[in-house]
Structure 1
Amino acid sequence: MAEWRVTVDRSRCMGSGICTAMAGTYFLMDGERSRPAAEGVPPGEAVLDAADSCPAGAITVTAADGEVVGPRD
């Protein structure tokens, strides 16, 4: 299965750290804001759960075909 692309809109990120607590393999704190540990990640629930839980809605997860898969509604 192809990797997903993870982005964090740092202008929206409020630095809550929820993403790093839930999926620390995929997210890092960079100063007071989060960033992806890598642009490409293997598909998985942890990444989607982190995107769903972001209080600022700053995380977007995109499939290889360009379809946005997270956050889920």
Structure 2
Amino acid sequence: MSTTEAIWKVAVDRQACIGTGVCAGTAPAEIEIREGKAIALSPEVGPSDALIDAAEMCPMAAITVTDAATGRVLAPEE
């Protein structure tokens, strides 16, 4: 990632995750299922529409995407 490219932080609450796999199917470059729960492949990523979709689709709201520079929550929307 270049220094001018936006950086997003992705966090998965593994206690809340029920392992449906919707997130991993939607954003396989950023999230996968390990030991029955979702895990972020990297804590910081470039902007990704698929990642936003994955966070929005999570039935447990276990995935949070924030702007690394501002801390603003990008997904899920409240």
Pairwise TM-score range, normalised by the shorter structure: over 0.9
Residue 26 of structure 1 corresponds to which residue in structure 2? 30
Structure having the higher Rg: 2
* Corresponding residue for residue 77 of structure 2: 72
Q: How far apart, CA to CA, are the structure 2 residues paired with 1:45 and 1:61?
A: 11
39, 42, 48: which one aligns with 1:38 = 42
Where does residue 11 of structure 1 map in the other structure? 15
Equivalenced residues, count: 73
Q: Distance in 2 between matches of 1:55 and 1:71?
A: 11
5+ residue gaps, structure 1, are none
What's the RMSD between the two structures over aligned residues?
0.9
Taking structure 1 as the reference length, the TM-score comes to 0.94
**Identity fraction in percent:** 38
* Runs of 4+ that moved beyond 4 A: none
Unaligned runs of 5+ in 2: none
